[in-house]
Amino acid sequence: MKALRRWARQSTSWLRSARDEDVLQAEIDEHIAMEAAENVRAGLSAAEARRWALLKFGSVEAAKESYRDQRSLPLMETLAHDMRHMLRRLRKTPGFTAAVLVTLALGIGANTAIFGVIDSILIRPLAYPHADALVSVSHTAAGLPGLPGDLGCSPSMYFTYREANQTFEHFGVWTSGGASLTGVAEPELPRTLFVTFGVLDAIGVKPLLGRWFSEADDAPGSPETVMLTYGYWQRRFGGDKSILGRVLTIDSKPRTVIGVMPEGFRFRHDPELILPRRLERAALSLGPFDSQGIARLRPGVSLTQANADVARMLRIWGSAWPLPPGMDSAPFRNARLGPRVQPLKQEIVGDIGAALWIVMGTLGMVLLIACANVANLLLVRAEGRQQELAIRAALGAGWGRIVQEMLLESMILGVLGGALGLGLASAGLHLLSANGPDTLPRLAEIGIDPLVLAFALGVSLFSGALFGVIPAFKYGGPHVATALRGVGRTFSYGPERLRARNVLVVVQVALALVLLISSGLMIRTFQQLRRVQPGFSHPEQIQILHSIIPETVAKDPERVMRMQNEIMDRLAAIRGVTSVGFGTAAPLESFLGGGNTVYPEDQRFTESQVSVMRQIRKVAPGFFKTMGTRIVAGREFTWTDLYEKRRVAIISENLAREWWGDPRAALGKRIREAGPADPWREIVGVVENVYDNGVQVRPPAFAYWPALMDRYIWSGENEFAVGAGMFAIRSSRTATEGLLTEARQAIWSVNGRQPVFLVTTLKALYEQSMARTSFTLVMLAIAGAMALVLGIVGIYGVIAYTVSQRTREIGIRTALGAQPAGLLAMFVRHGLLLAGVGAAIGLAAAAGLTRLMSSLLFGVTALDPATYAAVLALLIIAAVLASYLPARRAMAVDPVQALQAE
């Protein structure tokens, strides 16, 4: 404790050193004066008294010296001294300092930013209480090899799992989608989370106001309730505290607001409303797997135990529930369901981790290149100081002290650069969390926390040490004294002087090549994605808007359809509109939901694929024409089909091939949706596949029903028409305010009480679907560009420096008759040699490393020859340029001046 306190005082003493010195001097003077006064009292003369006093005190300097040693730590003293000295030097060379700091700030900033992203997405736990006990419950299906992702839960599983589990504290299932909010000033369709009892309890985030759903809210027949999330409550109701108990009309039903979730509450798809999901137990069967399961594990339960528990419950479930109507048990047997309980975080984060680590890796390489560049600059500087260092060594400075000083300098540069980089990173993260792709999970949580700060500091110190070690050991070593001899007129620079710098440049070029190839591969991937026929054409021309005809305006399905028809006619009459389509959702809007299982009539369900979810869209005539979806066989729906309520259907090409091998063979076959009430419908057309989940994902199979039907599973024996739907307008004026205004007027001229929302263009949806790829692409392209620039600067620097150092040699050569062109070629060859060796190493490294990113690639292999060739060519051209420019200066050398110099 005592020693600690002393150390604390000592290590901060340099803050007060000047004052302390004066105080000590005053104290010593005083001491001697008192001793002298005492001696005078004893009878000595004034001069004699003072002499004796001084004698008795002993050496003033020795006392001061040992006082100083006691006052502070000697190491701190020299550090403080070195630091002052160094900062002065850095101020005197602003160009050098700025170059180093900018390079480091970019390198460290980029790495800190991406680490911030990784930290908030992958490392930090989810923002729920005891989030590590939260798991998602889904299923593997070994018998369904084509299945994209896992199989969710069926509503019937909710009851089995809730009642029979031995490992869950809470369990519930949820789905997401939209729900229309009407009866307010501006009707709209908020993003909605549908939860059973147990989901909110599992998550464990307490509501800010009111209460959670209870089991009673789930029971059919009880009063309808709804919860709001904080953002929606603020935006829509201005944070009105009296919201509890208010009745909102949602999906045409009055529902009482019972609670508001707190600000920090996040869930998948960022919901605005939370509705209880009411499942009617008696009507449930084994399928469909349309829900997501979430559970909180009991304390002490492991994932293995939970998985075993679900495996056990799957057997109970399989025999406890009836088969869906019209199906035998084969598809369920053949699907071979297995449990897949995984941490919720893992499920949310998904495969984004791979892309992030790759970006982090590439930015790490950029930092290495930046360090190499800074090391190069420091080498040049150390070279300039060589004589000074040699003299200091000759005067007795220990080489440890010199190395310490050089390392300190690089560390300080590293930390200063890191501080600037932290600023850049924080700005970058702000930008990212405001404009990042929606597909980036947990986007809103991104920011700088202590871990990121520690990372930035660590990286700064590491880089400082990294680029400081090279010059420190090259010039701080015990051989410095020889340098004294090596500087002078008679000396020309041998190649070994440049070795360290050559090596650095080779490393830079190799790293830059790897990065350029990675970004090249991403560019090729993007091109390939662009080349995919997405199942629609010219998406930039398609304006999309959603609208709802509320039940209060029209209830009769035929009447609803006639209104939609009239709206379509009026939209088509707008200037510049070529065609209008109507349906439940546009392509790439599968997040709005609408999947179910579909069965063909002529095949008994021995094929296991039968229980797979298909996308269902209800469309009106003109939908495919407007989207530009090609009709492969048969025809589109007609208005006669709709108004005569013919039982017709259109399917996608991949579904036709799956069941009948050929699109033409599908015509005339009959299919229906799962459920007792759905009638068989005859296939009249087969259309091109639509990449509904994004172009890099296999297109899902589609069944299209008419927008007006005489019977449908969701309406029982009654007619059905699409009341909430999407209008697609193909026009040359898409996305202009004029078109939107006229389109709204057209809708409101038919029905003035109709909300218009989710206004977008198909192009925007298309780009959103490629957001993750373009995010990775942009990050890698930035890294690649930085690497290329830094690499070029590296080559340029070395050649320029070589030229300046070999001026005398050039002068001699010119005097002896060397041709300028030959001299130029000599330097360019040097640059090319460095680039060539670097490129060869880089190619080998790239061949190994790009394999890691194959999961991000699409339509191109990790060893794509075109990319490798293009990048290599680019790099060689850049290297020639980077060496040609400084080498030209060699031609301008005047031999007379060169030989007279120095």
Partner 1 sequence: MKDSDVRQGTLALMVLKTLDVLGPLHGWGIARRIEQISGDLLTVNQGTLYPVLLKLEQEGSIASEWGASENNRKARFYRLTRQGHKQLQAEARSWEQTATIIERFFAVKAQDLE
Among 9, 206, 479, 559, binds partner 1 (CB under 8 A): 9
What is the nearest approach in angstroms of partner 1 to the Cβ of residue 82?
A: 24
Query: Buried (b) or exposed (e) across 606-624, using 16+ Cβ within 10 A?
Result: eebbbbbbbbbbbbbbbbb
Binding part of the chain for partner 1, among 59-67, 301-309, 395-403, 694-702 by CB under 8 A, reads 59-67
Binding part of the chain for partner 1, among 3-11, 295-303, 388-396, 845-853 by CB under 8 A, reads 3-11
Of residues 6 and 336, the one with the C-beta less far from partner 1:
6
Phi, psi (degrees; rounded to nearest 5) at 601: -70, -40
Of residues 56 and 333, the one with the C-beta less far from partner 1:
56
Binding part of the chain for partner 1, among 27-35, 101-109, 382-390, 798-806 by CB under 8 A, reads 27-35
Among 15, 17, 34, 527, binds partner 1 (CB under 8 A): 34
Within 10 angstroms of residue 787's Cβ, the number of other Cβ atoms is 27
Q: Tell me: does residue 24 bind partner 1 (CB under 8 A).
A: yes
Write the CA distances from 215 to 220, 333, 357, 456, 897, integer angstroms. 11, 33, 43, 49, 95
Of residues 2 and 531, the one with the C-beta less far from partner 1:
2
Binding part of the chain for partner 1, among 25-33, 208-216, 575-583, 685-693 by CB under 8 A, reads 25-33
Please, what is the angle between helix 499-531 and helix 450-475, to 10°? 140
Q: Tell me: does residue 130 bind partner 1 (CB under 8 A).
A: no
Within 10 angstroms of residue 458's Cβ, the number of other Cβ atoms is 12
Q: Where are the beta strands (DSSP E) in 333-429?
A: 337-343
Of residues 35 and 742, the one with the C-beta less far from partner 1:
35
Binding part of the chain for partner 1, among 34-42, 255-263, 535-543, 570-578 by CB under 8 A, reads 34-42
What is the nearest approach in angstroms of partner 1 to the Cβ of residue 30?
A: 5
Please, what is the angle between helix 557-572 and helix 737-750, to 10°? 150
What is the nearest approach in angstroms of partner 1 to the Cβ of residue 41?
A: 11
Binding-site size for partner 1 (CB under 8 A) equals 31
What is the nearest approach in angstroms of partner 1 to the Cβ of residue 28?
A: 7
Binding part of the chain for partner 1, among 30-38, 542-550, 802-810, 837-845 by CB under 8 A, reads 30-38
What is the nearest approach in angstroms of partner 1 to the Cβ of residue 17?
A: 13
Binding part of the chain for partner 1, among 24-32, 220-228, 411-419, 438-446 by CB under 8 A, reads 24-32
What is the nearest approach in angstroms of partner 1 to the Cβ of residue 33?
A: 7
**3-state DSSP of 523-574:** HHHHHHHHHCCCCCCCHHHEEEEEEECCCCCCCCHHHHHHHHHHHHHHHHCC
Phi, psi (degrees; rounded to nearest 5) at 359: -60, -45
Q: Tell me: does residue 816 bind partner 1 (CB under 8 A).
A: no
Map tokens 């970019």 to a residue: 106
Q: Tell me: does residue 55 bind partner 1 (CB under 8 A).
A: yes
What is the nearest approach in angstroms of partner 1 to the Cβ of residue 400?
A: 23
Q: Tell me: does residue 31 bind partner 1 (CB under 8 A).
A: yes
Q: Look at residues 17, 121, 143 and name the one whose alpha carbon lies nearest to residue 449.
A: 121
Q: Look at residues 833, 823, 845, 843 and name the one whose alpha carbon lies nearest to residue 795.
A: 833
**Dihedral sign of CA atoms 16, 17, 19, 24 in order:** positive
Q: Tell me: does residue 18 bind partner 1 (CB under 8 A).
A: no
What is the nearest approach in angstroms of partner 1 to the Cβ of residue 24?
A: 7
Q: Tell me: does residue 815 bind partner 1 (CB under 8 A).
A: no
Of residues 56 and 85, the one with the C-beta less far from partner 1:
56
**Which positions from 178 through 237 interact with partner 1, judged by CB under 8 A?**
none
Write the CA distances from 627 to 72, 517, 587, 758, 763, integer angstroms. 79, 37, 8, 17, 11
What is the nearest approach in angstroms of partner 1 to the Cβ of residue 95?
A: 44
Q: Tell me: does residue 6 bind partner 1 (CB under 8 A).
A: yes
What is the nearest approach in angstroms of partner 1 to the Cβ of residue 27?
A: 5
Give the β-pairing of 273-276 and 191-195.
Answer: parallel
**Dihedral sign of CA atoms 720, 723, 724, 730 in order:** positive
Helices first, then strands: H and E counts in the chain: 31, 25
Q: Tell me: does residue 404 bind partner 1 (CB under 8 A).
A: no
Q: Tell me: does residue 58 bind partner 1 (CB under 8 A).
A: yes
Among 15, 23, 877, 896, binds partner 1 (CB under 8 A): 23
Assess contact for 714 and 283: CB atoms under 8 A.
no
Assess contact for 155 and 291: CB atoms under 8 A.
yes
Q: Tell me: does residue 63 bind partner 1 (CB under 8 A).
A: yes
What is the largest distance, in Å, between two alpha-carbon atoms of the chain?
A: 137
Site string for partner 1, 70-109 (x = CB under 8 A): xx--------------------------------------
Q: Using the 8-state DSSP alphabet, how is residue 457 labeled?
A: H
Q: Tell me: does residue 2 bind partner 1 (CB under 8 A).
A: yes
Cis peptide before 288 (omega within 30 of 0): yes
Binding part of the chain for partner 1, among 19-27, 156-164, 256-264, 831-839 by CB under 8 A, reads 19-27
Provide the residue count of the chain. Answer: 902
Of residues 63 and 553, the one with the C-beta less far from partner 1:
63
Q: Look at residues 438, 444, 410, 430 and name the one whose alpha carbon lies nearest to residue 109.
A: 430
Q: Tell me: does residue 16 bind partner 1 (CB under 8 A).
A: no
Facing residues of 376 across strands? none
Q: Tell me: does residue 62 bind partner 1 (CB under 8 A).
A: yes
Write the CA distances from 426 to 117, 377, 458, 857, integer angstroms. 11, 28, 17, 30
What is the nearest approach in angstroms of partner 1 to the Cβ of residue 80?
A: 18
Among 28, 244, 740, 758, binds partner 1 (CB under 8 A): 28
Site residues (vs partner 1, CB under 8 A): 2-3, 5-6, 9-10, 23-24, 26-28, 30-31, 33-35, 37-38, 55-60, 62-63, 66-67, 69-71
